[in-house]
Structure 1
């Protein structure tokens, strides 16, 4: 059995050995604060603000603003990355733009890829930029710097934690926590290398807009189509959610105004805050519908459920069809089968009126986080 050791008696620590020694002690790349090395893009040029950072044991400071050219794209679109390349053999640190999304984790270094070789060559990822042929504007921009971490999770931008923490851009060990600067989202890297949103004081309930849509004579599409329903005069909406261990947990209340709601014809959906995981075929969320004020023979309480299928970003609304029938049918404010619909043609059935009122749901379904 072979055992090697550095940092004890009779061992010498050079720059490369020091990079290896610090690997389990700190993130490979971390900025001093949210404005250090802050990138921005404008018409083919990336600008990086001055500041300091740590890259695998090397302390690096950029003075003044630094600019890097982003080359135009010949056809289609392409993503590129801006990195701070630290080369231990050359003893240099410089900003480099690469049109690639490939990583290199094994020696020797590959200058065409993003290298992650502490003590040899390390490319600290600052941001991603997407350019499209014929345009100098950025069609995509993602800031992947991290900072902070003393006594809490590392911080990053909202686009960083929503996309990078779901993939491999963040070079962080299992057990690492990373959150948006405003604390809206916190993720933990599990032992299998995947990231999960977790419930902490930095992962509070977040708002979303539960827009209702009706589909007339068309079948419900869980991602596109439909017509936005008018909510009328004096309507009320409240919707909040959070994601913990891959499960979205949310509460929603949508009440039409006393007059003027236009919920149209055909089946109806409600917009959701995140897409349902592709591995879950169907889910059902329990709810309630209270109909009142839009004609008919009275106000009623109805059992309701929301169907959310894999890949959907909208939930399909279902209710009991009649007051004495507990079977579920797709909710319809008024039927489109006869063209114009009208009072007394909806599901649930309101004699001489429309089933318009207040929806309440506890929404719960799995989401894809990586």
Structure 2
């Protein structure tokens, strides 16, 4: 067996020490959200704020701002440049220098970085989009790729564009713009593949919760008509594989049509319930103002694995709490035959709301 060790009694070289730190935590992290932050100033000039960073065991602190000018871009395509700090281990001549690397106009490939702990390690601070013949680089074109934190929780970043340039171990997590990402791969050159773990908590997506009737006998299926002024609206989000959705359906003033057969509601597109459970039940409320007056009914929405609609269940009648599939009746235009039972009317004319919460296969 041939083995080398570093850390027992004896001399530990600066290269070995850098390697130990690189394996113990994030290889390159800044101290705070403002430390060494890059901004645009002057003619194609990028300025780094004062601050500290820990890079492969080397604590670097800069008390003054630093600036570097990027070459002009006379080509037709956008060029991706990198601005960062170059750490060089060389005994008493070790150094830290501000640097920039120039990309290829029109290419989406970032310039390669050298990242060898204990040798030369280039820390990306910002990826900069240098557009054709520009003088001042727009703030939106200075893409912050610093990370900080990571002790007792995810690493932190300010945004996600070009963030895959970070050098973090597989399994590490980064929180940016309200979402959490996991490093699922690192190519060995310090470029990471990021996979979404949790989408931003405030990222609601709208969807149309269409009510449909399934038909009965020779009566065809169709879409429930809400009448003049009727409204359907819904929104949903997916967090850690769980769908959270809410829907509100309001009937209009006239011209309703519930059709015939059981009533279903469309689920958010592409997000069917996963297969661990065959059935799930979600809660809702139905208000009706047809026939013998205004009534409120607690309802359930039954979800079946892999099915893109939920079937609505309601109490049979005001004096019968047993649940049955909500329906206008077996035949259109026959009041008093639906579920829930409405004397001389139909289960419509008011508001239907529901909250859907289920794990998804989508």
Q: Same fold (TM over 0.5)?
A: yes
For structure 2, the 5+ residue unaligned runs are 187-191, 211-229, 254-263, 317-323, 327-344
Candidates 239, 242, 263, aligned match of 1:242: 239
TM-score (normalised: structure 1): 0.57
Displacement, 1:124?
1.0
Report the CA distance shift for 1:74/1:230 in structure 2 as closer, same or farther (over 3 A).
farther
Would the aligned equivalents of 1:82 and 1:127 in 2 still touch at CA under 8 Å?
yes
Match of 2:115, SS state, is: strand
Displacement, 1:49?
0.8
1:361 aligned onto 2:360: no
Would the aligned equivalents of 1:32 and 1:51 in 2 still touch at CA under 8 Å?
yes
1:59 aligned onto 2:59: yes
Would the aligned equivalents of 2:250 and 2:351 in 1 still touch at CA under 8 Å?
no
Distance in 2 (CA, whole Å) between partners of 1:40 and 1:276 is 41
Match of 1:36, SS state, is: coil
Q: Could you tell me which residue of structure 2 aligns to residue 211 of structure 1?
A: 206
TM-score (normalised: structure 2): 0.58
Of structures 1 and 2, the larger Rg is shown by: 2
Would the aligned equivalents of 1:68 and 1:97 in 2 still touch at CA under 8 Å?
no
1:32 aligned onto 2:31: yes
Match of 2:242, SS state, is: strand
Distance in 2 (CA, whole Å) between partners of 1:57 and 1:35 is 21
Match of 1:16, SS state, is: helix
Report the CA distance shift for 1:254/1:65 in structure 2 as closer, same or farther (over 3 A).
farther
Distance in 2 (CA, whole Å) between partners of 1:308 and 1:138 is 47
| Correspondences of 1:1-370 after superposition (within 5 Å) | 1-8=1-8, 11=11, 13=13, 15-41=14-40, 44-62=44-62, 63-69=64-70, 71-72=72-73, 74-88=75-89, 91-99=95-103, 112-133=111-132, 136-137=137-138, 142-150=143-151, 152-160=152-160, 164=163, 168-180=164-176, 184-187=178-181, 189=183, 206-213=201-208, 242-243=239-240, 248-256=241-249, 287=282, 290-293=285-288, 304=301, 319=311, 357-365=352-360
Q: Could you tell me which residue of structure 2 aligns to residue 342 of structure 1?
A: none
C-alpha RMSD of the superposition: 5.7
Would the aligned equivalents of 1:292 and 1:357 in 2 still touch at CA under 8 Å?
yes
Would the aligned equivalents of 2:205 and 2:237 in 1 still touch at CA under 8 Å?
no
Q: CA-to-partner distance for each residue in 1:223-261, whole Å, 9 max, x for gaps? A: xxxxxx9679xxxx8967532xxxx2133333356879x
Q: CA-to-partner distance for each residue in 1:160-212, whole Å, 9 max, x for gaps? A: 4x974xxx43322245344359xx555555699876667xxxx8993443524
Q: Could you tell me which residue of structure 2 aligns to residue 226 of structure 1?
A: none
**How many residues are aligned here?**
303
Report the CA distance shift for 1:294/1:327 in structure 2 as closer, same or farther (over 3 A).
closer
Distance in 1 (CA, whole Å) between partners of 2:69 and 2:358 is 46
Distance in 2 (CA, whole Å) between partners of 1:67 and 1:284 is 61
Would the aligned equivalents of 1:70 and 1:97 in 2 still touch at CA under 8 Å?
no
Report the CA distance shift for 1:214/1:5 in structure 2 as closer, same or farther (over 3 A).
closer
